[in-house]
Amino acid sequence: MTGGRAAPRAAGATASAGPGAASSRRRPASVAASAPGKLILCGEHAAVYRRPALVAAVDLRLRAELVTAAGEASPDAPVHLRVPTLDLDETTDWREVHAYATASRQRWQAWTEGLSGDAFAAVRSDDPGHLLKVALGEAARSLGEDGGPPLSVTVDSALPHGCGFGSSAAAAVTVVAAYLRLRGAAPEADRVEALALEAERRQHGAPSGIDGAAVLHGGVLWAERNASGRLVFAPFAGRSPLLARLAVFDTGRPAEGTGAVVAAVRRRAERQPARFAALWDEMEAATRDLRGLLASGADDAAAAAGHLRRCQRALEAIGVVPEPVRELVARIEDAGGAAKISGAGSLAGPGAGSLLVLHRDPEAAAALPAVAGLRRLAVALGGPGLRVEDG
């Protein structure tokens, strides 16, 4: 098992030699970076507790374009943030960006001392530009900068928001990679992954790191921690026919953010350690069995359905599948299919984000009466990872 494939380098980029290296390298005037969304096939939540997960990038992408304007780099240089899908159009400056990222880092560090779900809202913030400011601040800090160039950041996304597609991970990865390249540093995979994870922590509290790695590397990945605790990835060389059988539906945006759900599960696991350890064991077994089935190339929809049902039952048992979605899954099973949520889920109804639905006949999955009122998300699994290009 390896640490994953390296992210593509931008044209003309070379390996970074450290924080001071950016000042001596060629700096493009604009950089565009794009990354896919992702769907967790099996193993969500358990991955936070050192268990493996199976995750697939999708063919829908998020794109960040960073453009510099004339002017010297300084703390007072303007920073324009634009995200049409969030109705964000804001101009600030580097002094505020650095102050925001520093304050967010300090709040997160204080939160980790108690891992209190009740206090996580103070880390997350209601600012629609929260993730972009943190990602920019962390990237600039890694370069030893206390200011920055006059900058315009535009993020466009085809990823459904709040559906478990990893849009925050894609935004963090693309903004970090584009800013490093813009400042003349190489957007190398390990560096981008580490900085994006810092931004994700300010967004979700204690993420496993799987989302960021999936959108960075692309494809279908097996994620597992090694003996030292590092999350490493092994890509699937081939494509199982079962992947084409999975249909994806939107059950509705979860009532809570990922960070709040993860924190709530942690509190429950601390109160019932033996019960939750057994649930993580069951989810790990289902995840490993699904991986083996996909790797074998066998077109055994019945076996795959069984593994998905086991994972879904564990997710229901940890309390992240609200009752309306549980009833929906039961109706799909009664009709001969299988279904499981993909992502953090929700603590309350009616929605829990994306729902993976498997049936012997892919078209029959979309025609099941149980999903008639849901929006189908037309995605293909196994899309390419991060791409960085000079403008």
| CATH number, domain containing residue 203 | 3.30.230.10
Residue % of the chain over a pLDDT of 90: 69
For residue 14, being part of any structural domain is answered with no
What pLDDT shows up at residue 120? Answer: 65
Task: Look at 298 and 15; give whichever has higher pLDDT.
Answer: 298
Write the secondary structure of the chain as one string of H (helix), E (strand) and C (coil).
CEECCCCCCCCCCCCCCCHHHHHHCCCCCEEEEEEEEEEEEECCCHHHHCCCEEEEEEEEEEEEEEEECCCCCCCCCEEEEEEHHHCEEEEEEHHHHHHHHHHHHHHHHHHHHHCCHHHHHHHHCCCCCHHHHHHHHHHHHHCCCCCCCCEEEEEEECCCCCCCCCHHHHHHHHHHHHHHHHCCCCCCHHHHHHHHHHHHHHHHCCCCCHHHHHHHHECEEEEEECCCCCEEEEECCCCCHHHHHCEEEECCCCCCCHHHHHHHHHHHHHHCHHHHHHHHHHHHHHHHHHHHHHHHCCCCHHHHHHHHHHHHHHHHHCCCCCHHHHHHHHHHHHCCCEEEEECCCCCCCCCCCEEEEECCCHHHHHHCHHHCCCEECCCCECCECCEEEEC
Residues 122 and 270 in one domain: no
**Residue 113 pLDDT > 90:** no
pLDDT band at residue 119 under the 50/70/90 scheme? low
Please give the pLDDT value at position 124: 74
Q: What is the pLDDT of residue 115?
A: 54
Average pLDDT, the chain: 88
Task: Please tell me whether residues 219 and 249 are part of one structural domain.
Answer: no
The verdict on residue 98 lying in a domain is yes
Q: Is the pLDDT of residue 10 over 50?
A: no
Residues 69-83 have pLDDT tens digits of 888 889 999 999 999
Q: Range of 129's domain?
A: 19-237+381-390
Residue 123 has pLDDT above 80, yes or no: no
* Together in a domain, 268 and 359: yes
| Count of structural domains within the chain | 2
What does pTM read for this prediction?
0.87
Residue range 142-187, pLDDT digits in tens: 999 999 999 999 999 999 877 889 999 999 999 999 999 999 999 9
Pair 155, 64 in one domain = yes
User: Within a domain: residue 191?
Assistant: yes
Minimum mean pLDDT range among 125-139, 182-196, 226-240, 321-335:
226-240
CATH of the domain at 341: 3.30.70.890
Q: Per the domain annotation, does 1 fall within a domain?
A: no
